[in-house]
Structure 1
Amino acid sequence: MILVWAAKWYDEFPREFMYSGSLGVLVGCGFVFAIVIYQVFTRHKVKAEEKMHGTARWAEKRDLEDAGFFDNEGVYVGGWVDSSGTLHYLRHEGPEHILCLAPTRSGKGVGLVIPTLLSWRHSAVITDLKGELWALTAGWRQEHAGNKVLRFEPASATASVKFNPLDYIRVATENEVGDAQNLATLIVDPDGKGLQDHWQKTSQSLLVGCILHIIYKAKREGFVASLPAVDDMLADPSRPVSELWEEMTTYPHWNGEVHPLVAASGRDMLDRPEQEGGSVLSTAKSYLSLYRDPVVRRNVESSDFSIKDLMHHDSPVSLYIVTQPNDKDRLKPLIRVVVNMIIRLLADKMDFENGRPVAHYKHRLLMMLDEFPALGKLDIMQESLAFVAGYGLKCYLIVQDTAQLNAAYGRDESITSNCHVRIAYAPNRMDTAQALSTMTGETTVVKESVTESGKRGGRLDNVSRSYQEVKRNLLTPDECLRLPGPKKDATGGIVEAGDMLIFSAGRPAAYGKQILYFMDPAFSARAKIPAPAKSDRLHSARPVDLPVITEQEPEIIV
């Protein structure tokens, strides 16, 4: 257009066209000259390959959106700060499980557990040390989330609902022996290390027979079968124990006939030398000593709810399993029994329609298990994580570090590999830091080396530059150890959130920010709702409608 304008009006404005044209030519020549100079100095420069050793990077907003972390429902997995400095809460609604690696006093409760329990509206099972989660979340869950809230605190004389594990032995069915064996194994193996010696194995076999014997006897004679009743039977001071073994081999358990497994257990004890039999008996009784506590005894002699209620009751149900720190170790065998039964009984049936699974439950169930490895090795948990998501169960497992998890499940554990989302706070151990560093992935860094040569004190005659691609982890182990944690005041209260890492399978790691529920007005208001003074009680019937013992031919329940 400049040429067109010049053709029309050059005669009228020659001075303006000469000035602007001269300036244009000057700028154009300068630009060409600059390009020539640049080419002269860079024509031998080697371009670095920035993807040679790896392409790891931090997750961006689109990555977090693809992972489903910007959903408005689900559990909280942390926070993320965008380029404008805005903090976004990240949530996960899918069925996949979550593993959190967070040391003690690192803020996992205030940043993950409490926000989740103050927003999750479905059923939940919560392991609650000290009862803190009950105090802060049970009120909102009952009043605004429509949940029935149950507090199972076995060592509490007044505040606990009751739970009898023997109610879940499917007696008079083909499953009764397996149920009794699973329960007896949990009793004699309180740490999940396996039956390692002769006395554990023989006492487990004895307890299987005793459990079935007391259930059939209680049904026939009209009393309640329970683990304290089993202990009473084994430690009855009014008769020699040999009479019990004789009774087990002759008692008319069903249809006037003795139960074959119970009779075999009684015969085993009669055939043992007196010294060996006494050792087997004392070993079995030692594992039942917990139920001699009158408070624990009262809380396990009957049931105020059914495990099936957790997913099949008309309303969602939140079960808080509360253990005070001074009772944690002695109550661990009972808590293991409860968690094991929940998983076994709720992941037992799947329906299909048109080639796809169909939910047969009314409510999803969140297993919020804090200090998860403290329960010892639960084989059912390790085995079932791969498939329980299809039954409506979502596990949120919290551990201190990888060493704690390995101590319970071994270095070849499959817990980590079955958790789709992994969260990490600043670790305290180097092995955990190394694992996190590896999980962030490797990236390529272009390293420039400059060499200068010339006379000393004079002008440099030659300057050369070389480029080398080197690899490094996106976050090195020492950087993981120095991940900023929450800032605390003199009393130990958190005043500023720390940083965290969030990993989602198949996507870049996210460098996140912790959430603090007490700094969020909505969460803070929900946490102030007082917990109910008394636990709800559902008064459900036993999960299996046990048949009445008669002299008639029984109808076997399958």
Structure 2
Amino acid sequence: MSRKRMRIAIALLLYLPLGLCGADALAGAVFTLANKQMPEDLSLTSWPESWRAYREDPIQRKRLQFSAAVGGFIGFGLPTLLVLSLTNQKKPLHGEARFATHDEIQQAGLYGERGVIIGKVGKRYLVYGGQEFVLLAAPTRSGKGVSIVLPNLLHYDESVVVLDIKMENFAYTSKFRQAHGHHVYLFNPFTTDGQTHRWNPLDAVDRDPNRRVGEIQAIGQVLYPNHNERDAFWNESARNLFLGLTLSIMETPSLPCSLGEVLRQASGKGQPIKEYLQDLISTRAKSNAPLSDDCTAALHRFCATSENTMASILATLTAPLTIFSNPIVDAATSATDFDLKQVRAQRMSIYVGIPANRLSDAALLVNLFFSQLIHYNTVDLPATNPRLKHQCLVILDEFPALGRVNILAKAVGFMAGYNLRLLPIIQSLSQLESVYGEKDARTFVTNHACQILFAPREQRDAQYYSQMLGTYTADAISTGTSRPLGWSNGKQASSSSTHSEQARPLLLPQEVKELGDQRAIITLIHTKPILCDKARFYAEPVFIDRLKRISPFLASVGKRMPTQAELEEAAFVRRELSVEIPRLDLELHRAKVERRMRPVQPDEPIDLSKLAMDLTTLPPVVARDPPTAKEVNNLVDAFVAQLQWTDKVDDDISEKMRPVTEEGKAQRTEKQVDRSLMDREREERDV
């Protein structure tokens, strides 16, 4: 029941006793007048007393019945007709579109405290709770960051994963979120100062032989999607080779298991790729750790193709992986510092920082990041796993720049049930359609129950918004003048006017484009559209006060609102609003990739945290006493390969890494033998 009808029902219940009394008094008055007497000294009991006194008289009985009918009609009939006229009004011919009132906004539940801030009406924030998705359509430089993203990062208390193109969001809000109990991470694979947390997509792959193939193939689907039938064969073949190389790396503990290593293995290490893979399969088959059937089958399928086909498949494989030839990207994806599977189990804030000038290069990597986020968090429902007690808001700034996220296009209809909440940001509908196609783009938009519309710049979008807002019925008056022939000979002209009902859009397309930079339109299901103000964080005392509690510099300005220059100084110069991020050890990573080693000096400190390792990745030990020399060598090699140690100080490390000459052999002790030489000796001994 609507609020209006509920009020009418309450009014009727309150009117019932009053109407009964009024009808009784009116009936008594009418009966008195019918007997040609003045109605004096009437009371609520006048008519009942007259009924008891005169009901046996046929004439008076008719007068009593007539007076009761008149009193009942006036007391109850007229109010009933009035109510019916109010509740059954004729629908306007062309609709009755309008913006929502404060009561309707209240009824929609937008004046709550928990949820996504979507705007502001008066002094009250509009907060959209629940699990439904929110879509923001805003052209560039329209204030989408300062009025939607930053306010929510300073308000939303559950987990967030945010695509941070300019890294302004991290600079302004990360320390605040950490202070409120969040684990804060920044994944910035193109960092110029080495400050980034690491994320390795292969670390999330289950090592169970029964599950890992499917999860590797899921990564391959992102790297080599089938966008058209023409390239289907090459992409499928590239996914097969990707599966084989990834499995071979996983089954070789001495190699780093990363996408960068997949690229290095695809180079053939100086050999033709077919010869390299065949030697790898043959050598491992003769050892105590042969490659798995899944691995060898995938590699054999690749090697069975012709030379030209093989070259094309290899080119398809390496095309999306060339990004990992960048040492910084390779290091940033060589290990994992945070678990995407935990975003619903604990409060986490993950900022994916991508410089705007590297967005096209990083699109596939970021696509893979969010694909894994959705893939691993749409397995267990919160109702079946009590650990999943937090909602995760996924803020996707410049969403179309990621390219087509296939899993998102398919999962958008059921993700909300897993407590994953989307807030994608697009510039225009045409931008979204260029990536997903018109049909899928419309489906994607439809699955967002709340849409925030900033003043568009494209005429097509303005027309679409105008149509979406609907029309109302407007009275139109047209006038005309008729002049008879020869009117100049003294005959006067006659004029006429015609009244008609016309459809008028709530906002014309040009009016939509003229909204200005302070206002926005919100559309919700089951609610009239809302015309609201933008909640710009720098103009809202509640958000500035939260930043002042974090930044001594902002606190020093006192009660006044800081200027934009002061906010930028606190965030970017003094860095008082962001958390410290560890730096990549690029020298260590390069040494691990190149498999360099040297003797440890007696007085050299060792970072024990770099000696931590996963013992489950070591080769299994056969229960035999004593073990064979090959088993010992394999175990020691795998153990030492996991030690994260390299020389960061000595400048002569390159000298120590040079190939060993005959003169050098004579000068070095057995403990100072180069690791690569030891490997070659062991391989020769094994053969």
The answer to whether the superposition gives a TM-score over 0.5 is: yes
**Equivalent residues of 1:359, 1:391 under 8 A apart:** no
**Matched ranges for 1:269-284 at <5 A:** 269-284=302-317
- 1:76 corresponds in structure 2 to 117
Query: Is it true that 1:341 corresponds to 2:361 in the alignment?
Result: no
**Equivalent residues of 1:151, 1:321 under 8 A apart:** yes
SS of match in other structure, 1:242: helix
2:188 corresponds to which letter in structure 1? E
- 1:290 corresponds in structure 2 to 323
Q: Percent identity?
A: 27
- 1:436 corresponds in structure 2 to 465
**Matched ranges for 1:475-514 at <5 A:** 475-484=507-516, 486=517, 498-514=518-534
- 1:158 corresponds in structure 2 to 194
- CA drift at 1:442: 2.1
SS of match in other structure, 2:196: coil
Give the Cα–Cα distance (whole angstroms) in 2 for the partners of residues 509 and 412 of structure 1. Answer: 24
1:329 corresponds to which letter in structure 2? S
- 2:340 corresponds in structure 1 to 307
Provide TM-score, normalisation by structure 1.
Answer: 0.78
Query: Is it true that 1:389 corresponds to 2:416 in the alignment?
Result: yes
- 2:16 corresponds in structure 1 to none
1:380 corresponds to which letter in structure 2? I
Give the Cα–Cα distance (whole angstroms) in 1 for the partners of residues 163 and 616 of structure 2. Answer: 30
Identify if the C-alpha distance between structure 1 residues 109 and 278 changes in structure 2 by more than 3 Å, giving closer, same or farther: same
**Matched ranges for 1:28-67 at <5 A:** 51-67=92-108
Gaps of 5+ in 2: 1-39, 41-88, 552-575, 584-608, 623-687
Give the Cα–Cα distance (whole angstroms) in 1 for the partners of residues 224 and 163 of structure 2. Answer: 22
**Equivalent residues of 1:256, 1:551 under 8 A apart:** no
Give the Cα–Cα distance (whole angstroms) in 1 for the partners of residues 229 and 195 of structure 2. Answer: 35
Give the Cα–Cα distance (whole angstroms) in 1 for the partners of residues 580 and 265 of structure 2. Answer: 33
| Structure whose residues are more often strand by fraction | 1
Query: Is it true that 1:317 corresponds to 2:337 in the alignment?
Result: no
- 1:314-337 deviation per Cα after TM superposition (whole angstroms, max 9, x unaligned): xx1100000111221111111111
Give the Cα–Cα distance (whole angstroms) in 1 for the partners of residues 288 and 409 of structure 2. Answer: 40
Give the Cα–Cα distance (whole angstroms) in 2 for the partners of residues 254 and 522 of structure 1. Answer: 66
SS of match in other structure, 1:308: helix
- 1:519 corresponds in structure 2 to 539
Query: Is it true that 1:230 corresponds to 2:262 in the alignment?
Result: yes
**Equivalent residues of 2:173, 2:577 under 8 A apart:** yes
- 1:532 corresponds in structure 2 to 578
* Match for residue 409 of structure 1 among 436, 442, 466: 436
SS of match in other structure, 2:163: strand
**Equivalent residues of 1:249, 1:262 under 8 A apart:** no
- CA drift at 1:395: 0.7
- 1:88 corresponds in structure 2 to 124
- CA drift at 1:478: 2.2
- CA drift at 1:57: 1.5
**Equivalent residues of 1:368, 1:396 under 8 A apart:** yes
**Matched ranges for 1:369-384 at <5 A:** 369-384=396-411
**Equivalent residues of 1:269, 1:277 under 8 A apart:** yes
Higher relative contact order, chain-length normalized (CA < 8 Å, sep 6+): 1
Which one has a bigger Cα radius of gyration? 2
Query: Is it true that 1:211 corresponds to 2:252 in the alignment?
Result: no
1:470 corresponds to which letter in structure 2? Q
**Equivalent residues of 1:50, 1:444 under 8 A apart:** no
- 1:17 corresponds in structure 2 to none
Gaps of 5+ in 1: 1-6, 8-47, 81-85, 487-497, 553-558
| Structure whose residues are more often helix by fraction | 2
- CA drift at 1:348: 0.6
Please provide the CA RMSD for this pair.
Answer: 3.1
2:504 corresponds to which letter in structure 1? R
**Equivalent residues of 1:148, 1:536 under 8 A apart:** no
- 1:167 corresponds in structure 2 to 203
- 2:455 corresponds in structure 1 to 426
SS of match in other structure, 1:471: strand
Give the Cα–Cα distance (whole angstroms) in 2 for the partners of residues 324 and 110 of structure 1. Answer: 18
SS of match in other structure, 2:260: helix
SS of match in other structure, 1:415: helix
**Equivalent residues of 2:108, 2:527 under 8 A apart:** yes
* Match for residue 447 of structure 1 among 476, 479, 499: 476
- CA drift at 1:77: 0.7
**Equivalent residues of 2:359, 2:401 under 8 A apart:** no
- 2:629 corresponds in structure 1 to none
2:115 corresponds to which letter in structure 1? G
Give the Cα–Cα distance (whole angstroms) in 2 for the partners of residues 526 and 473 of structure 1. Answer: 42
- CA drift at 1:375: 0.3
Aligned length: 474
1:534 corresponds to which letter in structure 2? E
